[in-house]
Chains A and B, each alone.
Chain A
């Protein structure tokens, strides 16, 4: 394959990564933006989404699409519920103190990971894609499902944007993000908004995981890379900024796809992490963000 098609393939792969990353990072960004806490367990919610998807789709018989659709509905609900319980039992009692929540979410990370290892096992298991149509380019065939993932992610991002900017729920969320105390004074149930946002953020990660699981299998350690990448995306995009998050996800996803097609992955990861750390040191508001509010 010559350079042009090779680049196109890398671009397409990067696009799929970007799509899934944008959804995952959006969940992290929302939680950070509205609640001002860092959820270190976010990657584990992603992993939990994939594992639940495997359980659901292996229980539903018949056409693979049935199992997949069932997973797409059940998995975010289950993960959202888990996050809701965690939020009510732990984070609320900590009064959302930033450092205490970090320690507590590290604890959650270990608990979820170990439970997945004990109950699900160390194997990586696939979920069958709902359809196996291949798009034939002149140079190579490409999975139609992967492009469907990109389309689904775009649809979800638009829906989230609509939710945030055009509905009452979004208004309440933005008000809470802007000024917690004033929102409370105007009768917004800040406490319930926090619970909802935390669950919603986890559910977004779960949806991203269900979408990706037919491509890469469900495994109990699969939450690590999405966590780090989401952190990177949220930082570069500016903490708590939706538009920045999406743009950064596309940049990082495409960059990751293209870099790892041409360079050694450990070296690429090393340089990327170092660059992001330096961005955070010298431009704490992110590359695209304006000054922090």
Chain B
């Protein structure tokens, strides 16, 4: 591996992936076009999860609360306060960032299994809150953001996010920005500190790094990215419901990251793409799609713990980001 060429190669790869996704806009039939837009938004969720699980090695079972903080932060402000798309989107991200900071401050006092249980419980409280305040959130049933609300008007120029083509471009934009951010973090000094914490936290602390602050920042960034995905989901697809806050949506990003490869920048996209289509195709034959999720989790953790891209990196292409 020639060190000098690696950064160029990595950025070229990311650019190629983004260009490919943009080009698919013109090639795909209508159904898959819509599905891919959704996958890109959900892949952002997986990328946020990957930052914490893949790089820092913290297994959270509560990321549904960050996703749904973004979802509700955008959805509720737009529905009840009449905020526009940009304000709602920012409100969603801000809600997720604040929540992630608070949860991080509390949950990072624990480690290992306790961290997982604590995050799961906080997420459960969040889920129960979405049910308890059903007068505003409409609970399980959820609510739909009407089409006129989901348009941005700047002067005469109107951007209707419920239009499939606009929606696709918006999804590509959101995905690309987050991909570049996570790739930059992974390659930065800070990213290397995170990996060091994953490999040996004691030693990292001994080297003079404040591991608590590093982890807290990681939880906050991870939660913010997940909230961006949730807020994006609300404005692009217009549905907000408490299902997204349930524990199942904490486990799905874990599955996506495991499939694609933890601590790889493109793994989350690959994993989301693969599992989405597996479940989509399987649900044509059977309603028991959770069975597939269960079997996939066990097989992955048994035989394929590095995921697709992780295995490729270990075996063939060492420079893969």
Contact = CB atoms under 8 A, between A and B. Distances in A.
Nearest to B298: A107
Contacts of B300: 103
Interface stretch (A77-85, A244-252, A264-272): A264-272
A169 interface: no
A197 interface: no
Interface stretch (B21-29, B33-41, B70-78, B108-116): B108-116
B297 A107 contact: yes
Q: Is chain B's interface secondary structure helix, strand, loop, or mixed overall? A: helix
Nearest to B132: A266
Contacts of A45: none
Contacts of B109: 281-282, 284
Interface stretch (B120-128, B182-190, B268-276, B313-321): B120-128
Given A273-B125, A277-B121, A107 B288 contact: no
A44 to B, nearest CB: 10
Interface residues of B, number: 36
A257 to B, nearest CB: 19
Nearest to A32: B113
Interface string B248-279: 00010010001000000000000000000000
A229 B36 CA distance: 39
Interface string B93-122: 000000000000011011011101110011
Interface in B274-297: 288, 290-291, 293-297
Interface stretch (A94-102, A138-146, A174-182, A205-213): A94-102
B301 A107 contact: yes
A106 B252 CA distance: 11
B128 A266 contact: yes
A281 B117 contact: no
B125 A108 contact: no
Contacts of A94: 301-302
Contacts of A109: 294
Contact of B116 (A38, A100, A104): A38
Nearest to A93: B302
Contacts, number: 102
Contact of A106 (B128, B129, B251): B251
A228 interface: yes
A269 B121 CA distance: 11
A135 interface: no
A267 B134 CA distance: 12
Interface in A89-134: 90, 93-94, 98-100, 102-104, 106-111, 113-115, 117-118
B131 interface: yes
B294 A114 contact: yes
B117 A235 contact: yes
B291 A111 contact: yes
A273 B121 contact: yes
Contact of A114 (B118, B122, B291): B291
Given A106-B251, A114-B291, A281 B106 contact: yes
A270 B129 contact: yes
Given A273-B128, A276-B121, 6 more contacts: A99-B113, A107-B298, A111-B298, A115-B288, A267-B132, A273-B124
Interface of A: 38, 90, 93-94, 98-100, 102-104, 106-111, 113-115, 117-118, 228, 231, 235, 266-267, 269-270, 273-274, 276-278, 280-282, 284
22 contacts: A38-B117, A90-B302, A94-B301, A98-B112, A99-B59, A102-B113, A103-B254, A103-B297, A107-B296, A107-B297, A107-B301, A110-B290, A111-B295, A113-B290, A114-B294, A273-B121, A273-B125, A274-B121, A274-B122, A280-B118, A281-B109, A281-B110
